[in-house]
Structure 1
Amino acid sequence: MKIKRSYLFVPATSEKMMGKAIASEADCVIFDLEDAVAISEKDIARERVKNFLINNPQEKDIYVRINDITTPLWRADVEAAVDAGVAGIIVPKSENGSNMKVICQTVIERFERLEKAECPFEVLPLIETAKGVHFAFDIANAHHFIPRLVFGSIDYCLDLDCELTASGEELIYARSQIVNASRAAGIGNPVDAVYPDLANDEGLTNEAVRARRSGFKAKLAIHPKQLESIHRVFTPESEEIEEAMEIVKAFEEAELKGIASISVRNKLVDYPVYKKAKGLLQYSGK
């Protein structure tokens, strides 16, 4: 399984910038057609992304952030993304399951029109409003194209008219809701928000640690210089992996003997501990 710890945003305004983003250490890259592009440049940017990807096939997973569904731009964005063969799309201002179903159906219809088999395609809802947090489960459960949710903290705080602080208390509820909704819907762990201060690596690391402890498994980035810190936080340490491997091996051997409670490194291991260890190994690709 390919580990997806980082999703790097790049404005769809320059082929040079898109090329640099793809060449970076990011696990995934997001070509942004929404906030990073002026209204007058939307159509040009869409064609630029489509042509760039068609002429420069990439092994790295590429996503396109489309314009939100309240605009007249989103459908053309979706169609261009499918035409270009991207891994998926990021849907901003995701606020209900119904809209997600409409967008996913549009993806299916585009595949049908192109007479292409419905290949693996991801639709990642960006939860960045109070309404989106409130209906996170409905959004997560809307369609099989949705493998995980993404959190947008800056717009969320703007919507709530609250302050985005270094300690992050104002995000505890939203993060918890998004993680819980993801689990309840049976999809993967969500992706945490961008950290806007490029000069504060310590702040980025602290926020990434809080997100990981809350149940997030990846983070958005706005510059390649943030990737090292993000990867450090969201990559399991070798000692964690070794212990997980030991737990899984010992428990599976005990289970064959009808035993479901053992001790590994002087710690109790039962089914919940075993499942957590196995999940860690699956996430790390072991």
Structure 2
Amino acid sequence: MKRSYLFVPATSTRMFEKALASEADCVIFDLEDAVAISEKQEARERAKIFLENNQPEKDVLIRINDLNTPFWREDLEAAIEAGASGVIVPKAEYANSMKMLCETALVFLERQNRELHSFVVLPLIETARGVQFAYEIAGAHYMIKRLVFGSIDYSLDVDCELTDDGVELLYARSQVVNASKAAGIGSPVDAVYPDLANEPGLINESLRARRLGYKAKLAIHPKQLHPIHEIFSPSQKELDAALEIVNAFEAAEQQGIASIAVGNKLVDYPVYKKAKALLLSVGLS
């Protein structure tokens, strides 16, 4: 599972190279907010040509323009023709629209003779309507593998004030997590943290997101990646504890026992399954 998604404006080939050389798990070439309307076509061509002439070792996604603009279809087609791993879809608000986009992507994939399961669509939930219909969006098509939360646009839409403790976003963040799980897709990706000079703030926000059930975070600069990776990766202490729980419970289960104590902790099936899932996520079980 990817822990970090680094945005890079589609305005400079050099910036593409720097982003891909970073420790980001995934890089997002941004055709939306980072590009002026007059530069949309040029940015699209720049991203396409770069990917066609390079073979990045990590996944590259394209953030296309939203479905209410005249740019999204050409953005999507260019992403598929260039060999991108998928697209981020901003302002995702309706399941029918997301299904239509995915079906359009399938047409382009078949035209390029690309494997249909090789391309992912990640809806960006960043409006009140998107939060309201997050479950329907998450289950709209099999190409949708994760949801992504966008806090800045969401705060603008609902006219709330962003604060250090993030209480104003608790409902929306939780809705996105719950919708993802209810729809049976992967855990969502948390929003960008815009203050590059405030690493403690980034750490605190990432910790809050992880506690809520997020397993990754967007980044806008490579220097944000190390804290993000530390927080969204299990510690050795957590892995050791999970391994102890799994070994002890599986041994007890062989004897017909399904409730044991490991240290001072009661372990039954839910606790065991959570520990097992943690080990599976890092390839240890």
**One fold, TM greater than 0.5?**
yes
C-alpha distance in structure 2 between counterparts of 1:245 and 1:84, whole Å: 42
Letter in 1 for 2:212: S
Q: Which runs of 5+ in 1 are unaligned?
A: none
Q: What TM-score, normalized by structure 1, do the two folds share?
A: 0.97
1:215-248 alpha-carbon deviations (Å, 9 max, x no partner) = 1011000000111111111111001001111211
Structure 2 partner of 1:141: 139
C-alpha distance in structure 1 between counterparts of 2:31 and 2:198, whole Å: 27
Structure 1 partner of 2:64: 66
1:90-138 alpha-carbon deviations (Å, 9 max, x no partner) = 0000001111101100110001122333242110000000000000000
Q: Is the 8 A contact 2:6 2:222 kept in 1?
A: yes
Structure 1 partner of 2:21: 23
Q: Is the 8 A contact 2:117 2:143 kept in 1?
A: no
C-alpha distance in structure 2 between counterparts of 1:110 and 1:190, whole Å: 26
Structure 1 partner of 2:178: 180
1:29-73 alpha-carbon deviations (Å, 9 max, x no partner) = 100000001111111111111110111101201110000000111
1:258 aligned to which of 229, 236, 256: 256
C-alpha distance in structure 2 between counterparts of 1:7 and 1:127, whole Å: 15
Structure 2 partner of 1:240: 238
Q: Once superposed, which parts of structure 1, at least 4 consecutive aligned residues long, lie more than 3 Å away?
A: none
- % same residue: 67
**Superposed counterparts of 1:1-286, under 5 Å:** 3-286=1-284
C-alpha distance in structure 1 between counterparts of 2:255 and 2:44, whole Å: 59
C-alpha distance in structure 2 between counterparts of 1:234 and 1:117, whole Å: 30
Letter in 2 for 1:167: D
* DSSP 3-state at the match of 2:29: strand
* DSSP 3-state at the match of 2:193: coil
C-alpha distance in structure 2 between counterparts of 1:274 and 1:85, whole Å: 40
C-alpha distance in structure 1 between counterparts of 2:254 and 2:234, whole Å: 28
* DSSP 3-state at the match of 1:62: strand
C-alpha distance in structure 1 between counterparts of 2:11 and 2:71, whole Å: 16
C-alpha distance in structure 1 between counterparts of 2:33 and 2:237, whole Å: 41
C-alpha distance in structure 2 between counterparts of 1:116 and 1:232, whole Å: 35
Residue 252 of structure 1, CA deviation: 1.9
C-alpha distance in structure 2 between counterparts of 1:17 and 1:115, whole Å: 30
C-alpha distance in structure 2 between counterparts of 1:119 and 1:52, whole Å: 23
Letter in 2 for 1:8: L
C-alpha distance in structure 1 between counterparts of 2:36 and 2:172, whole Å: 29
Letter in 1 for 2:238: E
* DSSP 3-state at the match of 1:47: helix
Q: Which runs of 5+ in 2 are unaligned?
A: none
Over the aligned positions, Cα root-mean-square deviation in angstroms equals 1.0
